[in-house]
Amino acid sequence: MRQTTTLTVRLAASAGLVLLSLNFFGLTQNLRPEGLTPDVLRFGERDLLLSQNELEEEIVRGEQETDAEFLNRVTHSIADGMAHIHWERFDANRFHQQVPVWENYILWGMRYITKIPEYERYHFSNVEKSIERGIGICGDASILLSQILTTEGISNQIVSMPDHVIVVARLGDQEFLLDADFGVVAAISLNEAMLHPARLIAAYAAEDKYDSTVSEFTQALTHTNQRWDGPQAFITKKYYFEKLAYFLKWTIPALLLLVALFLFRNKGGV
């Protein structure tokens, strides 16, 4: 029995120290991957125009800024501050699409435990982590934008359609369609865009952001789309699991060390 307790103490203490060391090492690292050069970005030289610090500053609302001014500016800022990598083209570890083990060993391990594809190429719901990593596609940009607008008291919903995700915001009686992936703000309602997709396409063309994919998803919008009340509804369980994972990454090693200490003291030393 004493040998079993000794082994348990050593295993718990060792595991706790390893995980704790991993967490502290992670505090010295930055999620922003290296190598985000124009040749790997979807929009080339027009991509990633803002640094991490600049984007963090851009999402702060000005004292005299109106709701309309803020949603317009922050939509463009997110588009300029997120790197548009080709999501399925590169190894998942190259640009930290898979959460690094030093960032969160729970989210890292879920790729191997569950085989769920989303954990291989992860989409953060946490605003700070999303900005720090600085990569994403339409879903990442929309989740980020939706939360920023909600924080500022601006009514909004995430809108998903085949192959694209945007945000619809409402100011009084006016709806705005916000594409934080392309950096486009269209002062038209979702219903209007569904009935007259050419008007939405014109908004992209006015921003010089029109390409074949815009035509495809605007046409898809007329056939099927779904509104979601924020990321909690859009990504459901993963939204809450991410919060839990960041809580447990520190709690687990602390509990392991406490268990080891309790067993050690209860036996009068091992």
* Predicted confidence (pLDDT) per residue in 115-146, tens digit: 899 999 999 999 999 999 999 999 999 999 99
pLDDT band at 270 (very low <50, low <70, confident <90, very high): very low
Q: What is the spatial distance between Cα 261 and Cα 265, in angstroms, rounded to a whole number?
A: 6
Q: Are residues 178 and 86 in the same domain?
A: yes
> What is the DSSP track for the chain?
-HHHHHHHHHHHHHHHHHHHHHHHHHHT--SS-S---GGGBTTGGGS--S-HHHHHHHTSPPTT--HHHHHHHHHHHHHHHSB-B-TTTS-TTTTT-SPPTTT-HHHHHHHHHH--HHHHS----SHHHHHHH-B--HHHHHHHHHHHHHHTT-EEEEEEETTEEEEEEEETTEEEEEETTTTEEE-S-HHHHHH-HHHHHHHHHHTT---HHHHHHHHHHTT--EEESSHHHHSTHHHHHHHHHHHHHHHHHHHHHHHHHHHHHHTT--
pLDDT in tens, 183-234: 999 999 999 999 988 888 888 888 887 676 787 788 778 778 899 999 999 9
Residue 23 inside a domain? The answer is yes
Q: What is the spatial distance between Cα 112 and Cα 249, in angstroms, rounded to a whole number?
A: 17
Residue 122 inside a domain? The answer is yes
Q: Are residues 64 and 191 in the same domain?
A: yes
Q: Are residues 17 and 38 in the same domain?
A: no
Residue 240 inside a domain? The answer is no
> Over 80: is that where the pLDDT of 3 sits?
no
Q: Are residues 254 and 210 in the same domain?
A: no
Q: Are residues 149 and 66 in the same domain?
A: yes
Residue 241 inside a domain? The answer is no
For residue 152, which phi and psi values (nearest 5 degrees)? -90, 10
For residue 75, which phi and psi values (nearest 5 degrees)? -65, -45
Nearest to 148 by CA among 227, 84, 230: 230
Q: Are residues 65 and 5 in the same domain?
A: no
What's the whole-number average pLDDT of the chain?
Answer: 92
Q: What is the spatial distance between Cα 11 and Cα 52, in angstroms, rounded to a whole number?
A: 40
Residue 243 inside a domain? The answer is no
- Which structural domain range is residue 78 located in? 31-235
Q: Are residues 3 and 35 in the same domain?
A: no
In terms of pLDDT, which residue wins out, 242 or 265? 242
Q: What is the spatial distance between Cα 23 and Cα 246, in angstroms, rounded to a whole number?
A: 10
Q: Are residues 16 and 35 in the same domain?
A: no
Mean pLDDT over residues 83-93, rounded? Answer: 94
> Over 90: is that where the pLDDT of 30 sits?
yes
pLDDT in tens, 43-76: 999 999 999 999 999 999 999 999 999 999 999 9
Instruction: Name the pTM for this structure.
Output: 0.91
Using the CB atoms, write b or e for 226-255: b if 16+ within 10 Å. eebebbeebbeebbebbeebbeebeebbee
pLDDT at 268: 58
Residue 143 inside a domain? The answer is yes
Residue 242 inside a domain? The answer is no
pLDDT at 221: 80
Q: Are residues 205 and 217 in the same domain?
A: yes
pLDDT in tens, 166-182: 999 999 999 999 999 99
Q: Are residues 252 and 167 in the same domain?
A: no
Q: Are residues 51 and 101 in the same domain?
A: yes
Q: What percent of the chain has pLDDT over 90?
A: 76
How many domains would you assign to the chain?
2
Residue 192 inside a domain? The answer is yes
Mean pLDDT over residues 82-110, rounded? Answer: 96
**β-pair partners for 186:** 177
Say how many C-beta atoms besides its own lie within 10 A of residue 96's C-beta: 20
Q: Are residues 261 and 135 in the same domain?
A: no
